[in-house]
Structure 1
């Protein structure tokens, strides 16, 4: 389904992604972890064609997407939706209009200029917002929502594209633990219910273990781990992050704990 082969990105003398190679044979929820500068975001941007690759192949369902140009590239970008850490919404625009921006790739120039949307698209946007538990905020400005709600609006916008792949670049990095779990629950449900591939850059090990089917660890642009969440031990994490024996993953945990110390989770 997805083949990444010797994918490389260099910026001058600096190699951000170094011969990255892995294969995915079915829709999965994949977490990519590693310290800042490991190449995680650069990989997602190459996959979405926001950043050109220096060399290598990225084949999805038989098509090398790195070779696509013009309309073919735009079609791929509509099938491969991006979700960003900072949401990338239009703050003063209402929520439903932000969601409808997910249809821009297939709309006419005239419709885009005058902000005209088919009734069926409006209904679909509201249905998606309802699925994510925020339909009652559809008429509000995006800036009036909390960070977690805004990220769910960004997820709804991605779903409006009806993508085959969702790429999430540190989707919970700026959220508190409660909202982080709500957002990750939503991404996991989208994978489970829709059968969409989800690839998420994550910064906490507990999140990767809890939500992902497969975890890829990157260090200095290279894959240094590729396995199941159960194989992501503290020792493996130390190698991924280049840390010594003082490394403790508890400092990066996003689990919600009550004052008694017992773990409290948001139900899926």
Structure 2
């Protein structure tokens, strides 16, 4: 389905993405991990054509993605939906209208100017919100929702595009553990139930292991790991993050069970003494 060959992006003398190559033969949920500055976000932006590649090849189902221009490029951006860390919603607009903005790529300029949406699209937007468990918030302004709820609105907006690929750039980086779990479970269900490919940039190893079929590790713009979650050992993680022997996965965990309150910690310490 997806072929990436020697994909490279340079900014002057700096190489942000360095000859990245991999293939994906069927819809999967793929986690891309690595420290900040590893090139993860730049890679996703090249896939979505928000940033032009310097060199290389990117093909999806035989379509030369990097060679697309004009309408063909916009059609690809509809097929390859993007979810951002900061949600990118219109804060003062109601939730349903934010979701309906996922159809802007196929609507006329006049309809966009006057915010005119077909009834079928409105019903579909509400159905998607229902699927994500937030239909009750449809009439509210987006700014009135919690961070986790806003990210689910952003996912709903992406689904309105009916994409073949969903790219998620650090979708849980600004969320608490409970909301992070809800968002990742939603992305996983979308992959499994719809058969859509999902590629998500992630910071945490436990999240990648729990939700992804395949994990790609990036360091200094290059792929240094490509394997299954079971193959993502602590040693492999040290290589990806360029960390020493004191590297602790617990410090990057988003697991609710890994969060220990001061009171709980004091109790555990007291139990250890007894």
Report the TM-score range of the alignment, normalised by the length of the smaller protein: over 0.9
Secondary structure, aligned partner of 2:256: coil
Cα-to-partner distance string for 1:204-244 (whole Å, 9 max, x where unaligned): 00000000000000000000000000000000000000000
Equivalent position of 2:40 in the other structure? 40
Q: How does 1:164-243 map to 2 (within 5 A)?
A: 164-243=164-243
Structure 2: segments with no counterpart, 5+ residues: 266-274
Secondary structure of the structure 2 residue equivalent to 1:245? coil
1:120 corresponding residue in structure 2: 120
Which residue in the other structure is 1:74 paired with?
74
Residue 85 of structure 2 aligns to a residue in which SS?
Answer: coil
Q: Which runs of 4 or more aligned residues in structure 1 lie more than 3 Å from their structure 2 counterparts after TM superposition? A: 258-261
Q: Deviation at 1:64? A: 1.1
Give 2:16's aligned residue.
16
Q: Report the counterpart of residue 139 of structure 2 in structure 1.
A: 139
1:92 deviates by 0.2
More helix by share: 2
CA distance in 2, matches of 1:188, 1:75: 25
Q: 1: CA distance between counterparts of 2:24 and 2:223?
A: 15
Q: What is the distance in 1 between the residues matched to 2:203 and 2:126?
A: 31
Structure 2: distance between partners of 1:93 and 1:72: 29
Structure 1 residues without counterparts, runs of 5 or longer: 262-268
Tell me, what secondary structure is at the counterpart of 1:254? coil
2:50 is the alignment partner of 1:50? yes
**Residue 168 of structure 1 aligns to a residue in which SS?**
strand
| Helix, strand or coil at the partner of 1:6 | strand
For 2:271, the equivalent position in structure 1 comes to: none
| CA-atom RMSD in angstroms | 0.9
Q: Tell me the distance in 2 between the aligned counterparts of 1:159 and 1:90.
A: 17
**How many residues are treated as equivalent by the alignment?**
261
- Normalised by the length of structure 1, the TM-score is 0.96
Select the structure of larger CA radius of gyration. Answer: 2
